[in-house]
């Protein structure tokens, strides 16, 4: 008890010393959102220090409670700890990923081992675990409801799966492993950002850009001017920059250079090289798996997923790989014929695929993406996604002005239910910048939960992307892939926003990784449905709604190039599994391992794996290791879920929508398979995915 009092005094002292720190007080802002506009880099480290002290005091209070352990005084009390740390982390890590800088990277390197030490100190606290175990062992006699039982079992598993049952010597080694992995993850991500920012390819002769759309040339010219090269055109390894070149530019050498710039990031034997980082990460992940009695990291990681083990994942991936590769080979043959017309005797290369696929799409479907993009103005596409949520769930979205944001490009929306009650707050941040990592994602800024007084704390959610910035003459116009990405991340946002869990560790997207992509990929299905397109696809200059003939072309071409798309994705998933099925990293050569993996799966030379190892952030930074398969696993679920609506003849059929909303609201409060069966009434049929891609009739 004395220790508890002492830690409490320390916590209050630290908080008092930081009373001017905007991260440490409940912000005086609308809806309690973080005071982003007041936060400076100097505030982060003191805020983390104070939050960690407070979290330790909360844990110590549970451990030293003289009363017999109960569900309320141990399990629920544990779930309610760390609210200050959640608030500080929710601000820092979101800004770090979306608008970071060198100083923030240094802070992250300092904070990472502190957080790892705190996490390990909680998980490996034997006195705390014994209280958890005491309650868990009595679980059948406690009369818990399903959500309470889920919290108890997940809490116990979280401790057991992260080392609570290990002997002391292994616990100490686990702490060391976790701390080093945290730092390696930061280093990997920073290296990718540094490589992306450092690579600039200037074009000085406009004739080299023949075929490139005028909008892409304007964007490249503005980038060059901003970089101090007026009169030139700048291209970088950011997708918004190089993708138009790959699709449209006749200059084959430039296409090759830009694709190589993108696919060789982190693989240049310089300060940003990630090969040694990967080897060390794999050494540590293998060692950690073996501490828990697993032969490889994949089985250790998958034990708590729907798939359960690597054999199930491997078999699943192979079942989709075979028809995908077959389709990709047919597509490659068709593109080879087009290439022969320009380069007789030459072989189709990866930097040719997008260019000739675009030509073939025009020839086969009279579909030119540049003809479509004027109808996909960013604000309208976002309104279209919002409109789907309104029709499905009755949600209303209202822009909020003068809200605190970390960057002027960020926008904020209030989300209300049909009855006017608050659902949550949504931030959107869509444009690339130097401090933003590549890709698109959704995060919690603040989680949803119900406190001890019964107050439902509604979530604060963010969607982040890297879409085309507006230029002097045009607004932000999205590609078809960008449209799908916006709908995808908004699906994640809805999963977080609609949460109705009592406990924060079970709320929102706190689900198995091979289930969490279901809500996001489900939303993608709506993007190009004709009745949805007509609600948001308006020409940015004329205001004309997208014509029926153009919609018909989009849908006719819906199965086009799906062999390439799926093979590119699955090859990354298989490569991920190959890495994490390793039982030793001794003698690991990253480039050679990648080569052998691709040869083993039968990957064709004309396609480059979506993520090569040295810039594969998903598995070496963001926690998707042995988990990239989940996009395809969830695609089976999302195709089947959307079929449930299609079968009714109404994309927004109220009863089906009500059942799917219920699935979203549950978060991780119930078993994922149980939730899906409750929604659909049967197992997901994989044939719905294969039909959607055109692999079977």
Q: Which residues are catalytically annotated?
A: 489
CA distances from 354 to 182, 213, 359, 452 (A): 37, 15, 9, 55
Q: Is 144 helix (H, G, I), strand (E, B) or coil?
A: coil
Q: What is the DSSP secondary-structure string of 349-389?
A: -HHHHHHHHHHHHHHHH---HHHHGGG-BHHHHHHHHHHHH
Alpha-carbon span 615 to 608, nearest angstrom: 13
Query: Running DSSP on this structure, what letter comes out for residue 477?
Result: B
CB atoms within 10 A of CB 38: 14
Q: Would you give the distance in Å from CA 327 to the centre of its chain?
A: 28
SS (H, E, C) 519-577: HHHHHHCCCCCHHHHHHHCECCCCCCECCHHHHHHHHHCCCCCHHHHHHHHHHHHHHHH
Selection from 328, 261, 246, 355 nearest residue 605 by Cα = 328
* Nearest one of 118, 121, 122, 116 to 155, comparing CA atoms: 122
List of residues 6+ apart from 408 with CB closer than 8 A: none
SS3 of 655, please?
helix
Rounded Cα–Cα distance for residues 251 and 246 (Å): 9
Q: Give the separation between CA 276 and CA 265, rounded to whole angstroms.
A: 14
Q: Of 510, 494, 529, 487, give the one whose Cα is nearest residue 650.
A: 529
User: How many CA atoms lie less than 13 Å away from 275 in the CB half-sphere?
Assistant: 14
Q: Which helix (H) or strand (E) holds 183?
A: helix 168-198
Residue matched to tokens 């960057």 = 407
Which residues does residue 538 pair with via DSSP β-bridges, in sequence order? 545
Closest to 615 measured CA to CA, from 386, 222, 273, 282:
273
596 three-state secondary structure: helix
How far apart CA 114 and CA 116 sit, in angstroms, is 5
CA distance to 186, 243, 277, 389, 431, per residue, from 103 (Å): 13, 31, 22, 39, 22
Q: Which of 109, 50, 112, 110 is nearest to 83 (CA)?
A: 50
Assigned token pair, 671: 């078993």
The label of the residue with tokens 């998933």 reads 573
DSSP type of residue 510: -
Name 293's Cβ contacts closer than 8 Å, sequence gap at least 6.
Answer: none
Question: Which of 312, 313, 289, 316 minimizes the C-alpha distance to 301?
Answer: 289
User: Measured between alpha carbons, how far is 569 from 481 in angstroms, rounded to an integer?
Assistant: 14
Q: How far apart are CA 557 and CA 106, in angstroms?
A: 47
- 384 burial class (0-12, 13-18, 19+ CB within 10 angstroms)? buried
Would residue 626 be called left, alpha or beta, if left means φ above 0 and alpha means ψ between -120 and 50 degrees?
Answer: left
């Amino acid at each position: 008890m004395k220790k508890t009092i002492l830690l409490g005094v320390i916590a209050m002292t630290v908080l008092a010393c930081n009373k001017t720190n905007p991260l440490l007080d409940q912000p005086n802002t609308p809806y309690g959102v973080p005071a982003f506009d007041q936060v400076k880099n100097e505030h982060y480290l003191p805020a983390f220090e104070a939050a960690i002290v407070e979290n330790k005091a909360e844990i110590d209070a549970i451990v030293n409670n003289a009363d017999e352990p109960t569900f309320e005084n141990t399990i629920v009390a544990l779930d309610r700890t760390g609210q200050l740390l959640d608030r500080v982390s929710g601000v820092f890590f979101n800004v770090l990923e979306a608008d970071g800088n060198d100083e923030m990277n240094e802070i992250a390197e300092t904070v990472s081992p502190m957080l790892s030490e705190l996490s390990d100190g909680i998980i490996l606290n034997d006195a705390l675990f014994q209280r958890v175990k005491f309650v868990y062992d009595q679980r059948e006699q406690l009369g818990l409801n399903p959500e309470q039982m889920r919290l108890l079992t997940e809490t116990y598993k979280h401790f057991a799966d992260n080392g609570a049952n290990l002997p002391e010597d292994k616990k100490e080694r686990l702490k060391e492993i976790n701390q080093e992995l945290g730092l390696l993850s930061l280093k990997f991500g920073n290296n990718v950002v540094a490589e992306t920012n450092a690579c600039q390819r200037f074009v000085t002769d406009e004739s080299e850009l023949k075929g490139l759309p005028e909008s892409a040339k304007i964007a490249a010219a503005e980038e060059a001017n901003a970089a101090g090269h007026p009169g030139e055109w700048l291209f970088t390894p950011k997708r918004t920059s190089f993708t138009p070149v790959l699709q449209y530019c006749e200059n084959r050498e430039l296409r090759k250079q830009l694709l190589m710039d993108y696919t060789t990031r982190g693989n240049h034997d310089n300060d940003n090289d990630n090969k040694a980082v990967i080897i060390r990460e794999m050494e540590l992940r293998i060692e950690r798996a073996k501490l828990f009695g697993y032969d490889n990291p994949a089985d250790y990681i998958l034990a708590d997923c729907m798939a359960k083990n690597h054999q199930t994942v491997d078999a699943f991936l192979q079942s989709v790989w075979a028809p995908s590769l077959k389709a990709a080979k047919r597509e490659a043959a068709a593109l080879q014929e087009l290439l022969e017309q320009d380069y007789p005797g030459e072989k189709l290369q990866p930097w040719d695929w997008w260019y000739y696929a675009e030509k073939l799409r025009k020839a086969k479907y009279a579909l030119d993406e540049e003809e479509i993009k004027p109808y996909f103005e960013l604000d309208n596409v976002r309104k279209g996604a919002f409109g789907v949520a309104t029709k499905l769930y009755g949600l209303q979205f209202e822009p909020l002005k003068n809200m605190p944001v970390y960057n002027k490009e960020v926008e904020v929306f209030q989300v209300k239910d049909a009855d006017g009650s608050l659902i949550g707050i949504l931030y959107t941040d869509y444009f690339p910048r130097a401090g933003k990592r590549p890709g698109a994602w959704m995060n919690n800024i603040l989680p949803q939960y119900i406190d001890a007084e019964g107050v439902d704390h509604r979530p604060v959610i963010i969607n982040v992307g890297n879409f085309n910035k507006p230029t002097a003459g045009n607004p932000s116009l999205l590609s078809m892939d960008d449209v799908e990405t916006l709908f995808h991340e908004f699906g994640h946002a809805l999963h977080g926003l609609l949460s109705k869990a009592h406990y924060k560790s079970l709320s929102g997207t706190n689900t198995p990784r091979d289930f969490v992509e279901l809500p996001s990929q489900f939303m993608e299905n709506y993007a190009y449905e004709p009745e949805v397109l007509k609600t948001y696809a308006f020409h940015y200059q004329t205001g004309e709604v997208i014509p029926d003939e153009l919609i018909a072309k989009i849908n006719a071409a819906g199965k086009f190039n799906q062999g390439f798309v799926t093979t590119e994705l699955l090859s990354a998933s298989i490569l991920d599994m190959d890495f994490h099925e390793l039982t030793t990293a001794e003698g690991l050569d990253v480039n050679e391992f990648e080569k052998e993996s691709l040869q083993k799966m039968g990957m064709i030379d004309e396609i480059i794996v979506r993520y090569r190892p040295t810039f594969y952030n998903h598995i070496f930074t963001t926690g998707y290791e042995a988990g990239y398969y989940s996009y395809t696993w969830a695609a089976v679920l999302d195709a089947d879920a959307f079929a449930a609506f299609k079968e009714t003849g109404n994309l927004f059929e109220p009863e089906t929508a009500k059942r799917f909303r219920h699935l979203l609201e549950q978060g991780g409060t119930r078993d994922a398979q149980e939730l899906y069966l409750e929604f659909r009434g049967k197992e997901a049929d994989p044939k719905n995915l294969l039909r959607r891609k055109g692999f079977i009739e």
